[in-house]
Amino acid sequence: MRRVAIIDRNPDHRVLFRVLLEGKFRCSEYDNGEDAMVGMRTRPPDVILMDLSLAGPDSAGTLQQIRGDQRLSGVPVVAVAPMASNAVRERVLSAGYDEFFKKPILDESLLHEVLQRAMDPARVT
């Protein structure tokens, strides 16, 4: 079973993502980038679902650490943000994220589709 790392400072969001993904993914949950980096180095995930409003280090700093880590650099990272515009989506993708998912979760199948698309071996990195 594939592994997903859920990085979100809001415990309710982590629980919701875990409930929606259980059965298709093994989920590891982290409330900040620092703990996520420690955990993901021990057990690298197949995909990372990361909220853009992290604190210490923030999501941009965490993404930079992921991309700079030999064990994690190839792991796709899906940015998660609330009700963002297309301009925000484009900015996020140009910053180095592989995919973007907009909260709130209105369609569980869309979440699965975004994660599968991020993990597609044919994706351009």
pLDDT of res. 121: 77
Q: What share of the chain is helix, strand, coil (3-state, %, to 5)?
A: 40, 25, 35
pTM comes to 0.92
- Whether domain 2-119 has CATH 3.90.228.20: no
Please report, for the chain, the start and end positions of each structural domain, with discontinuous segments joined by +: 2-119
Residue 76: cis peptide before it, omega within 30 degrees of 0: no
Ranges in the chain, pLDDT < 70: 55-56, 123-125
